[in-house]
Structure 1
């Protein structure tokens, strides 16, 4: 038996149950991972709230790192004792151990600790595809990043700045503004202080930005479109405030703008692409393109506290769990 955080009924934080759970032997294509650290992401909150339909009961979490403890009969390329990490569906990382398809697992280089891996796999791979695939930024690109002081925003802004972009960040509080300015942002807007779109246009002298990276969703969608330069692109990669609904596509016509709604798990669903993405991410870490900031750590049994703090917007940087 092992300890897990399991959801029997979706909804409030009170529904997160710390309990014993039996783990079967891995299937032929799976490996068993003994977790050393577990990533906490807003996607976990979305799953817990029931905003995405998942068969219940289920174990929360899509990101983790640890040692390979068992290997399925048909698995190639992994052995017991390997240091590995992953960001993958289905959920199951809020656990001491889990079985997972070996094609979703990446070997960790020695220069990346388990804690850093748990903080970086989902957010780092997301930053990789946002900056290098969905919209390939380059020196001189002007970008807008929402939630610039969050775990995702800090990675995006630092990496984009190293590439040579001009980075405008949006944050929710003054203390977060200082953090964003120290981590790649050239300009920072406090969201609650009026319209961020007007401030973006003032900063860019009414030119707008080439690309907006928006993980917020419903509450920022129209403002994000208003920020775009002619031929500008909106990358809507998350829905913290809720899904965008009822879009009138004609709002894009005035400036010939485009919108993408990508998903990490589509990009990483191809093994060769996943390996390329992880390779680029690990090289960026080794070359110090960005700092990994783990500002909150909790024991697995206190995952509910982690969720409460993230939902209350009381966190900066990454949050991890320790089994």
Structure 2
């Protein structure tokens, strides 16, 4: 009998099947050297994990290795700018779940998040998780909010860097819960989770991918999945509404982008390869990263529409929280 995660993966695979057929019928463009998939964060964060789960399969479809390259710094700005300035030849692509949050929180972004890129694929979607250190005397989200209100400014909340999706989730939590907590920025999802485990920070809103192992192993206490429904990856963790936080819904998505000006046949070949890899590894991505692929992003235009809508949404969230671009 298939497990619940396997059933979900099979349904996802069915929705993505057309792209697999396209990938198997061949592409007009074939790379002649390895492709770099730039992750603009430190290793072990959500983008890094997802990238390493799909890179090998996508490379096999294209006939050349896809090498994951971490270029961390400035909440993904350094790596994203590197790709924006790269030659538009298909050999440098970006995966960045913070791509739509950066324009909402960074005043002088050195690239245009929409016009300097072209959409390739979307690796999936994943809710953030409200977590606490096991040493913190709060076993539920309601207890955590009460503790923070009783001790304003005493506790630290770790993020994956300024402009990251974790930062947006943190500001949303602070605004809706009206909790006075110090936000501390780290250089990626992995380092922020490590800070929580080490006790440097006491709570966080990490991505599921960067925290799921520690949650399952007991290194972190998950208080809520920041989604309308429970996640099949963490079925015992209450959803935000169940936890008493109905206004704190936040999920990240993983756009894969190439520099603007990349020829359409190259984008099509890359997109087919990545969509096929996402479908092929759907069960693994859900199990290991808590990231669920979705159909509906088969064209470059669909990917960029999602990016634009994300920028609008995150800008509204941060504006409502009183956060101005810096």
Same fold (TM over 0.5): no
Kindly indicate which of the two structures has a greater share of residues assigned to helix: 2
User: How does the TM-score come out when normalised to structure 1?
Assistant: 0.33
User: How does the TM-score come out when normalised to structure 2?
Assistant: 0.33
